[in-house]
Copies of this chain bind each other. A is one copy, B any other.
Amino acid sequence: MKQDPLHIGIIGAGRIGRVHAESIAFRLPQARAVAITDANRASAEEVAALYGIPTVAASSAELLANPEIDAVLVCSSTDTHAQLIVDAALAGKHIFCEKPIALELNEIDRALGAVEKAGVKLQIGFNRRFDANFARVHAAVANGEIGTPSLMHIISRDPAPPPIEYVKVSGGMFRDMTIHDFDMARFLIGDEVESIYAAGSVRVDPAIGEAGDIDTALLVLHFRNGVIGTIDNSRKAVYGYDQRVEVLGSAGKISAENCYPNQAVVSSATNVYRDLPLNFFMDRYAASFTNELGSFVQAIRDDTPTTVNGLDGRMPVVMAMAARLSLAERRPVALREVAAV
């Protein structure tokens, strides 16, 4: 039963790279980070020192050439993901890659082709699947607890919009923010979406509109199995991070509410109140980041398929493309209109 820990190399020492380094150092005894690299070497060195990673590689190429490394975490900027997947696959490393694989489909398909050819494992960083709330909803649908599903709702609102400079290079709200919800929709219903109707507007900040994006959206998803669902997105919910889902089925419904920092409720002379829900995605989804890495490590050790595979990385990008076209043309758009699916 006892095995040596899996040796992991981390490419990218930014915010999410640090989260994974911390998970490995403090919460995943079955894995060990043996090397890290970042375009900004100082950043890589800081993370290495913080979490006891023995080697700081000069480049991803140097890291991938390290024969000690079993698997890599691709945590660098989005525009480097696809090529790094190709490189890592060629080097025979298993790959955990943050979402999205790429903003353009041909890039994604090139990366997935390399993975398939190399026969390595690939897991995409849709961490929310590993959140206890959404996992519970998924289970209720999958095990028939609510019968055959018919309607689904996802509410996914951020506490505040990102800096406008980020908005400009984000690829648009659908590819940057809704992408998590596209994955959630497929995960909860266990089926593919056939077409999407997207409505969107600028309600939070005119500067976002001037940058050519929207900050508020409502999407209707038509699933192949007949389920109809909605996604509600806003770049700004003043009360915090709002992450809820609901599925109605023939035998009942299941709803997952927000998470709070405590369960204390005050009854005052004015009203009955509680503290705001968890406000930061790192807090709200803390356990999910560890769980997704644990699942990746386990899939490698057991040689089983990863829980979030290449197709799971590709479909949300296709859905974002369909949503964008729908918004532009004000009509429902079939996924097959924008890509081979």
Contact = CB atoms under 8 A, between A and B. Distances in A.
Interface of A: 25-27, 29, 50, 132-133, 135-137, 140, 145-148, 150-151, 153, 157, 197, 199-201, 203-204, 216-218, 220, 222, 226, 228-230, 232, 234, 236-240, 242, 248, 250-259, 261-277, 330-332
A233 B157 CA distance: 23
A239 B253 contact: yes
Contact of A232 (B132, B151, B264): B151
A255 B265 contact: yes
A240 B277 CA distance: 25
Contact of A266 (B29, B237, B253, B261): B253
A270 B298 CA distance: 31
Given A197-B199, A199-B222, A266-B145, A234 B272 contact: no
* Main DSSP-derived SS at the A contact region: mixed
A238 B274 contact: no
B262 A256 contact: yes
In order of increasing CB-CB distance, the 6 nearest A-B pairs are: A26-B26, A239-B267, A273-B273, A150-B203, A238-B269, A252-B268
A159 to B, nearest CB: 10
Given A230-B230, A230-B232, A258-B263, 13 more contacts: A29-B50, A132-B262, A136-B275, A146-B268, A147-B238, A150-B201, A234-B248, A238-B252, A238-B268, A253-B267, A254-B266, A255-B265, A271-B276
Contacts of A232: 151, 153, 230, 248
B239 A220 contact: no
A199 B151 CA distance: 11
A151 B216 contact: yes
Contacts of A151: 216, 218, 232, 234
Contacts of A29: 50
A28 to B, nearest CB: 9
A264 B137 contact: yes
A226 B254 contact: no
A200 B271 CA distance: 28
